[in-house]
Structure 1
Amino acid sequence: MKKISSVFSSLQDKLHRDKGEKKVLSPCTDAPPPPDCNPSLGRPPFFEYLVVVSVRKRTGGDEGYEPQIIYQFPKSCSQSQRRDEETCLKAITLFCFPEGVTWAPLTEYRSETFSFVLTEIDGSRRNGYCRRLLPLGKGARPPEAYCIISTLACFSLFSKIFDEVEKRRQISMAMIYPFMQSLRETAFPAPGKLSLSRASSPVWDRDDHLTRPVDSWLEHVEFHSLFQCLSDEEVLQVFAATVLERRIVFIAEELSTLSQVLHAVAALLFPFIWQHTFISIVPKVLLDVYLAPTPYLLGIQKNLLHLLTEHTDLLIVDLTSQSECKFISRVGDEDMLIPSRLQEELLQDLCKRKHNASTEELNSVVSEAFLSFFVKTVGHFANHIKRSGVNKQLRTFQKKNFLKAVEPKENRNFVKQFVQTQMFDLFIQEEEKLPHHEGFFHRKIVEFQLKKKEKSKTGVIKGLVV
């Protein structure tokens, strides 16, 4: 991911220029004093922060509204950590209310849950989970956003946590504290393991429980929104542009749609990882990022679409349900990037999903289809990592021989383009460091090769089972 943390500070300066030094906002007074924010747990905390952000009228005669933190758990850390923390918290407010200052009090507002990613200078990532809603009260009032920052990527798990936080907020802000403290002291769950239940915690009184999905690379992904917004053929065109690292903007009215679709598109690349700018929800003040010449995946609200005046070499995907044409702007070759035979096989695999499939069932069918695509196109890479040197510890990828070995030949042009991407380059660099080829992708390659041998007489290769 491209490092964008430094942008947060500059855009905050832009927002608050000439307003003087801002105060550090404290939690509401009805909350008990939290403990030290770095407990000696011997493991990563379940989350780093819970903040509640509201939009308030600007002071000093300025017009409009601005997002402000009205509650934070835990409180500020040590003095040495405070500057980094303040930068992070300022960024959080922008992503909770990316529309900018054009807010007004409301009497009705449909709550929505979405997520974003904060990428630090060192490349580390923190996930932001946000639920926006209208707080209890009478008359017109501004919305609030609950935001949790965690290194754990699991959208469905944190959605359940928000359900509990929202229920407690309706009673009192102080009711949030014991629950979040209990959660913070809970062990960082392994994939497929229970993390919080009625039996494990006195503050969790719900019938359901919190569990991380077994497939950790899919735990932040729900493919439903992607396939509700786009047809299978349109998904393939988006996938083709993504896998060749192009500039793509997604447009939607709802923040939840943007975050779910962008994370779903990135998940289609497994076992490869998107290496460029990824902003699932672009704040209005950061909108100029779309002018960057480098690849990106951006999510932008539809009411900001008119501000995108430059469409050259840009794929703009409209996710709104009422849109007749899903591609507002395109390069023009998106439907030809993937060889026709591979497109047909992908479409056939996607047709296996049920109309009313659960999240787990849909994830299985979709991930199987696209993982099979990579197995077929580049699954022979391990055969072309040459070992040399003392004890054959030096490993070098033989790109030329790898490309010659691509079969069938009609796939070679696509593979030649794909090997030029940063995601493939980084993948190979990591593989060159490994003494043995192990892992989920490698097991699927072996399964495919065995099935290919078994079916060589008939020429039929059945799909993979993930």
Structure 2
Amino acid sequence: MSNELDAGDHGPMKLLTTMFSSLQEKFHRDRSDRDSTLPRPTAPALVVTSARDQSHLFFEYLVVVSLRKKRGEGMYEPQITYQFPKLANMRCSQRAEEEKSLKAILLFCFPEGVNWAPLTEYASETFSFVLTEVDGSRRNGYCRRLLPSGKGARPPEAYCIISQVACFGLFSKIFDEVEKRRQISMAMIYPFMQSLREAPFPAPGNTVKIKSFIPESGTEVISLTRPLDSWLEHVDFRTLFRCLTDEEVLLVFASTVLERRIIFMADELSTLSQVLHAVAALLYPFTWQHTFISIVPSVLIDVVMAPTPYLLGVQKNKLDDVIDQSDVSVYGRIGDESTILPEKQQQELLQALCCRKDNSTSEELNKVVSDAFLSFFVKTVGHFPSHVKRRSGGEPGVFQIKSFCKASEPKGSRQFVKRFIQTQMFDLFIQEVERPPTQEGFFHQKIAEYQQSKKKEKAKRGWVRGLVV
């Protein structure tokens, strides 16, 4: 889907790299002598270079991140206190690569920083983030924060699973099982994760069953089902529409399609990650190509000053740190977004979104929402296949941009199309289209269905006119 701290060109990435390096220097300059032998975390800590192909596995590893009080300072810092499987089981080159990514995991598991106080109550929450490799591929981080069992005030701890699989709902259920076992004993987590790691990741729509033993309960069989629509399995639109009205969602969508800088603010980490991933999913079949950080750690808050497009999730207690950026689209601050989308398509989108039901399942809601926005792209830019001139001999095609713009129907959508074709997401999409044709995907199928419906409607109107005559 989207890349955390990933940019569309080297200039923005260099800026973010420099910014991250200086902030990390400030954050870690007061580490004790025992850490002096470890590599100092710099920007590459957010860029994973592992080339291992573990796409057939549920996950690569699980880490437990605990908050440890710093001596004499009254502040806490996150530390990894448990990992499965151990880095010692990896080759030296793999272990060095993972040490870098583990530094980044610490930041994302506790993005608030070092200011914590022991708690007696804490509602567990689940959120996600993305680690981007140097070759552009991605690994997903899923995190469940909870208050460990015990008496008295104590800081929360985080359980983080790193996986190449993008399926938030599935890993939320896995965390339910992890949390249940944690309340019994840390030792109960290991056999469950071992069984999960040995199980093959199911194909879309399929189910895998995991057997796990729990004292006093016996052997349990846990069923994990993967959604049929795999391109939506990392998304739940319910949180997005709980936070925003339909009209506000359209304003955010309008800003996103023109690749503007957008910050969404909320108190809960789970809300931030779910909303940001939902917003990115509205762009299908296009992909957000710029900086995407679903949860911005405190030490990286200066990323809001980057002059390039981004989608950021920032906790509300950092509002004062970003409010001075007057040219940034923060939720609740409206500019010309209401005039970006063609008026007719805006009304059609709102009508389509009204079809969702309050008691619908996540799959039903995802279908209603995704169909609405996919239909928008079909009607505004779905005529692109007719404007790709194919050459003989399997050579790449050439996109005829002028004829494409002139052919936009209705005419009211042409201004939007002229602006949208200037975005990087459209440019990269067309680059893929210009390559030698392969099997047509879901978007092409929807275009064909729409064009067929238009032909039938045109034939029907002609038949009715014939009857009248």
Q: Which residue pairs with 2:25 in the alignment?
A: 13
Residue in structure 2 matching 1:451, options 439, 450, 453: 453
Residue in structure 1 matching 2:231, options 209, 214, 217: 217
Residue in structure 2 matching 1:128, options 121, 127, 141: 141
Q: Contact (CA 8 Å) 1:431, 1:437: kept in 2 or not?
A: no
> Is 1:349 aligned to 2:341, yes or no?
no
Q: Contact (CA 8 Å) 1:169, 1:176: kept in 2 or not?
A: yes
Q: Which residue pairs with 1:65 in the alignment?
A: 76
Q: Contact (CA 8 Å) 1:382, 1:437: kept in 2 or not?
A: no
Query: What is the DSSP-based 3-state SS (H/G/I as helix, E as strand, rest coil) of the residue aligned with 1:394?
Result: coil
Query: Judging changes above 3 Å, is the alpha-carbon distance between structure 1 residues 455 and 51 closer, same or farther for their aligned structure 2 residues?
Result: same
Q: Contact (CA 8 Å) 1:51, 1:69: kept in 2 or not?
A: yes
The letter of the residue matching 2:372 is A
Percent of residue pairs identical: 66
The letter of the residue matching 1:238 is V
* Partner Cα distance (2:53, 2:344) in 1: 53
Q: Contact (CA 8 Å) 1:8, 1:91: kept in 2 or not?
A: no
Q: Which residue pairs with 1:324 in the alignment?
A: none
Q: Contact (CA 8 Å) 1:386, 1:395: kept in 2 or not?
A: yes
TM-score w.r.t. the length of structure 2 is 0.87
Residue in structure 1 matching 2:190, options 165, 170, 177: 177
Query: What is the DSSP-based 3-state SS (H/G/I as helix, E as strand, rest coil) of the residue aligned with 1:455?
Result: helix
Deviation (angstroms), 1:43? 5.8
Q: Contact (CA 8 Å) 2:352, 2:368: kept in 1 or not?
A: yes
* Partner Cα distance (2:253, 2:272) in 1: 16
* Partner Cα distance (2:143, 2:70) in 1: 23
Q: Which residue pairs with 2:68 in the alignment?
A: 56
Describe the superposition over 1:95-129 as per-residue Cα deviations: whole angstroms up to 9, x where unpaired: 11100011010011111111111112221111111
Instruction: Extract unaligned runs of 5+ from structure 2.
Output: 8-12, 39-49, 463-469
Query: What is the DSSP-based 3-state SS (H/G/I as helix, E as strand, rest coil) of the residue aligned with 2:123?
Result: coil
Q: Contact (CA 8 Å) 1:291, 1:310: kept in 2 or not?
A: no
Q: Which residue pairs with 1:100 in the alignment?
A: 113
Residue in structure 1 matching 2:368, options 351, 365, 369: 365
Deviation (angstroms), 1:12? 3.8
Q: Contact (CA 8 Å) 2:209, 2:221: kept in 1 or not?
A: no
Which runs of at least 4 in structure 1 moved beyond 4 Å after TM superposition? Answer: 3-11, 40-43, 201-208, 457-460
Q: Contact (CA 8 Å) 2:54, 2:164: kept in 1 or not?
A: no
Query: What is the DSSP-based 3-state SS (H/G/I as helix, E as strand, rest coil) of the residue aligned with 1:209?
Result: strand
The letter of the residue matching 2:350 is L
Q: Which residue pairs with 2:92 in the alignment?
A: 79
Structure with the bigger percentage of helix: 2
* Partner Cα distance (2:425, 2:169) in 1: 27
Query: Judging changes above 3 Å, is the alpha-carbon distance between structure 1 residues 80 and 391 closer, same or farther for their aligned structure 2 residues?
Result: closer
Residue in structure 2 matching 1:247, options 237, 250, 261: 261
Query: Judging changes above 3 Å, is the alpha-carbon distance between structure 1 residues 52 and 219 closer, same or farther for their aligned structure 2 residues?
Result: same
* Partner Cα distance (1:250, 1:184) in 2: 35
Q: Contact (CA 8 Å) 2:388, 2:434: kept in 1 or not?
A: yes
Q: Which residue pairs with 1:226 in the alignment?
A: 240
Query: Judging changes above 3 Å, is the alpha-carbon distance between structure 1 residues 454 and 208 closer, same or farther for their aligned structure 2 residues?
Result: farther
* Partner Cα distance (1:9, 1:73) in 2: 29
The letter of the residue matching 1:347 is L
Query: Judging changes above 3 Å, is the alpha-carbon distance between structure 1 residues 23 and 172 closer, same or farther for their aligned structure 2 residues?
Result: farther
Query: What is the DSSP-based 3-state SS (H/G/I as helix, E as strand, rest coil) of the residue aligned with 2:397?
Result: strand
* Partner Cα distance (2:438, 2:55) in 1: 29
Residue in structure 2 matching 1:281, options 291, 295, 304: 295
The letter of the residue matching 1:64 is M
TM-score w.r.t. the length of structure 1 is 0.88
Instruction: Extract unaligned runs of 5+ from structure 1.
Output: 26-37, 318-326, 461-466
Deviation (angstroms), 1:63? 4.1
Query: Judging changes above 3 Å, is the alpha-carbon distance between structure 1 residues 43 and 253 closer, same or farther for their aligned structure 2 residues?
Result: closer
Describe the superposition over 1:275-332 as per-residue Cα deviations: whole angstroms up to 9, x where unpaired: 0011000000000111111110000000111111432321111xxxxxxxxx1x34x1
Instruction: Tell which deviates more after alignment, 118-127 or 16-25.
Output: 16-25
**Greater relative contact order (Cα 8 A, min sep 6): structure 1 or 2?**
2
Query: What is the DSSP-based 3-state SS (H/G/I as helix, E as strand, rest coil) of the residue aligned with 2:417?
Result: helix
The letter of the residue matching 1:447 is E
Deviation (angstroms), 1:17? 1.1
Deviation (angstroms), 1:393? 2.2
Query: What is the DSSP-based 3-state SS (H/G/I as helix, E as strand, rest coil) of the residue aligned with 1:245?
Result: coil
Query: Judging changes above 3 Å, is the alpha-carbon distance between structure 1 residues 195 and 13 closer, same or farther for their aligned structure 2 residues?
Result: farther
Q: Contact (CA 8 Å) 2:55, 2:164: kept in 1 or not?
A: no
Query: Judging changes above 3 Å, is the alpha-carbon distance between structure 1 residues 43 and 295 closer, same or farther for their aligned structure 2 residues?
Result: closer
* Partner Cα distance (1:365, 1:101) in 2: 42
Describe the superposition over 1:420-443 as per-residue Cα deviations: whole angstroms up to 9, x where unpaired: 111111111111113246010000
RMSD between aligned alpha carbons? 2.4
Query: What is the DSSP-based 3-state SS (H/G/I as helix, E as strand, rest coil) of the residue aligned with 1:434?
Result: coil
Residue in structure 2 matching 1:188, options 196, 201, 207: 201
